[in-house]
Chain A
Amino acid sequence: MQVTVQRISSVVMELEVAVPADTVKAELEKAYTELAKKAQIKGFRQGKAPRNILQRMFAPQVQRDVVNQLVNDTLPKALEEKAVTPINQPQVEPLKFEVNAAFQYKARFEVQPDVEKVDFEGFELSRSTKVADEKAVEEQLAGLQQRLVELKVPDPARGAVTGDVLTIDFTVEVEGKLRKDAEGKGVQVELGSSSLLPEVDAALVGKKVGEQVTADITFPGQHPQKEIRNKLGQLNVTLLEIKEKVLPALDDALAKKVANFETLVELRADIHTKLEKAIKEQGEIALAEQIVSRLNERNPIEVPQSLVAQQANMMLQEIGQQATRARAQFTEDQVKNIQENVRKDAERKVRAGLLMAAIAKLNGFKVTDEDIEKGFVELAEETGKNVAKLKVEYRDPNRRNILIGMILEDKILDFIESKSIITDAPADAPADEAVAAESTTEK
């Protein structure tokens, strides 16, 4: 078996393999013997058909099989001999096949590029200096209050005001005719929340329980029912009940209700730490994103297309799932656009991944048991499971490798960070925005 290697580019390789005539012949022989036992040909009992007849009838098929067989047998050996590892399925192209001659074929595949030098020092990165301030905490608390709002009948009784939740009966008239399909009894609406037509909202303000209101309305141009669009009509409303929204007081009771804290102070502290953590994480992600784009700019190495396709597929799948969950519909152009962007993004990510792997190799980074131990502790904090349980979960070598990969990536990112010039971005211009703008303009 003769193997010649040709390097077409830094990521594409071509092997030319020649299989000696003897092997070809033996393989053919084997194929025909096998076939003779099984072939059913009219005029012959099974297994009795002579060789020349088999050859006449099955030659192309047998040759195809033999070629496949030979490639399957020799390609792994050839790869091993030349010590190359393809990262995609090799494209095999038989050159010629003759019965009494050596068989040659070409196999083309992609390999990991050899990255000899990676330029990763002295990146200028900007770090967000955003912190969790009182305002953000207040916002969160206000959100909590809104969620825990209570409905109460106002005492003493008063007219409806914007923001109240009303219970109403209503009938609709279109151009003087009562419409049976547009009645409502005991419907709850929030005044001023645009769940009603604005004319009705206006007419209801200040009215008391039991009062009847008639509002002249014009149906909007985009009304779901075509025949009443832009027509004049009347809405007769009977006001049954008025309830006002009462925000719960910001006190210890609220804290208890929300998360079983004893005091409001504790709740505030908890929100603060959570915010702090979220912001810090965001900052880290933004920084990593910057590193990725800097790596890409400085090291325009060639990337194996198969890896890019893999990454892009994964990302597209994720997007697809999100889209179905959100019930989003895309036009064809949008889909194309998304695919294009995802592809570019995937290429960036793959390139950065390769570069990081190269950095790790060049600098002799390794994940020690100690690191894994630390990783488990961190993971335990994040997920709230205990360390021993996690260790059992990660006994599976595949998952373990993923974990090791993550730890290694963190290490490399830290390393690059330590070699970079980091400036603090002002708090009101968050760093991640700058990165987002950059990644869209790039290339």
Chain B
Amino acid sequence: MTPEQIIKRPIVLTEKATRLRDSSQFVFEVAREADKIAIRGAIEHLFNVKVTSVNTSIVRGKHRRMGRGHAKLNNWKKAVVTLKQGDNIDFFAENAEA
């Protein structure tokens, strides 16, 4: 699997992800079959940073009701990546306004 296939999307706009970013931890949705080693490699390759640890968890899909019927969203894998001190991934490319 290529790094692009492993890392599906960054999770940016949540309270928890925002809080974690302050301690150099970044949250991503990753492919179900990717392991921690693969994730570490992909992040280091894509963002040119040094990863110190990777924690993963399977997020259980939520049940959604549509009137009488109901459905279950797919389970997905979340990875919290801790970077070496000083490294940073700037999701907003430009440094926004002051």
Interface residues of chain A, those whose CB is within 8 Å of chain B, are 41-45, 48, 50, 52-53, 55-56, 59, 99-100
**1/0 per position for B1-44, CB-CB distance to A under 8 A?**
00000000000011101100000000000000000000000000
Closest to A59 in B: B97
Highest count of chain A CB atoms <10 Å: which of B15, B17, B92: B15
Question: Which of chain B's residues have a CB closer than 8 A to the CB of A50?
Answer: 18
14 contacts between A and B (CB under 8 A): A41-B13, A43-B14, A43-B17, A44-B13, A44-B14, A44-B15, A44-B18, A48-B15, A52-B96, A53-B13, A53-B18, A55-B96, A56-B96, A100-B98
Question: Which of chain B's residues have a CB closer than 8 A to the CB of A55?
Answer: 96-97
Question: Which of chain B's residues have a CB closer than 8 A to the CB of A45?
Answer: 15
Question: Which of chain B's residues have a CB closer than 8 A to the CB of A42?
Answer: 13
Highest count of chain A CB atoms <10 Å: which of B14, B17, B18: B18
Tell me the interface secondary structure of chain B in the complex. loop
CA A44 – CA B92 in complex, angstroms? Answer: 18
Question: Which of chain A's residues have a CB closer than 8 A to the CB of B98?
Answer: 99-100
- Does A43 contact B96, Cβ atoms closer than 8 Å? no
Q: How distant is B20 from chain A, measured CB to nearest CB, in Å?
A: 13
CA A53 – CA B92 in complex, angstroms? Answer: 10
- Which positions 57-94 of chain B face chain A at CB distance < 8 Å? 92
CA A42 – CA B13 in complex, angstroms? Answer: 7
CA A99 – CA B97 in complex, angstroms? Answer: 8
Tell me the interface secondary structure of chain A in the complex. loop
Q: Which 7 pairs from chain A and chain B are nearest by CB?
A: A43-B14, A43-B13, A44-B15, A55-B97, A55-B96, A99-B97, A52-B96
CA A48 – CA B14 in complex, angstroms? Answer: 10
Question: Which of chain B's residues have a CB closer than 8 A to the CB of A56?
Answer: 92, 96
CA A124 – CA B18 in complex, angstroms? Answer: 85
Closest to A45 in B: B15
Closest to B92 in A: A56
CA A52 – CA B96 in complex, angstroms? Answer: 7
CA A56 – CA B94 in complex, angstroms? Answer: 10
What would 11 more interface pairs be, CB under 8 Å, given A48-B15, A55-B96, A100-B98? A41-B13, A43-B13, A43-B14, A44-B14, A44-B15, A44-B18, A50-B18, A52-B92, A53-B13, A53-B18, A59-B97
CA A48 – CA B15 in complex, angstroms? Answer: 8
CA A50 – CA B22 in complex, angstroms? Answer: 12
CA A45 – CA B92 in complex, angstroms? Answer: 21
CA A99 – CA B95 in complex, angstroms? Answer: 14
Question: Which of chain B's residues have a CB closer than 8 A to the CB of A53?
Answer: 13, 18
CA A53 – CA B91 in complex, angstroms? Answer: 11
Q: How distant is A290 from chain B, measured CB to nearest CB, in Å?
A: 66
Q: How distant is B6 from chain A, measured CB to nearest CB, in Å?
A: 23
Q: How distant is A42 from chain B, measured CB to nearest CB, in Å?
A: 7
Question: Which of chain A's residues have a CB closer than 8 A to the CB of B13?
Answer: 41-44, 53
One of B15, B92, B97 near A43 (C-beta < 8 A)? B15
CA A442 – CA B96 in complex, angstroms? Answer: 63
Q: How distant is A58 from chain B, measured CB to nearest CB, in Å?
A: 11
Q: How distant is A277 from chain B, measured CB to nearest CB, in Å?
A: 75
Highest count of chain A CB atoms <10 Å: which of B17, B96, B97: B97
Question: Which of chain A's residues have a CB closer than 8 A to the CB of B14?
Answer: 43-44
Q: How distant is A14 from chain B, measured CB to nearest CB, in Å?
A: 30
Closest to B16 in A: A43
Question: Which of chain A's residues have a CB closer than 8 A to the CB of B18?
Answer: 44, 50, 53
Q: How distant is B75 from chain A, measured CB to nearest CB, in Å?
A: 20
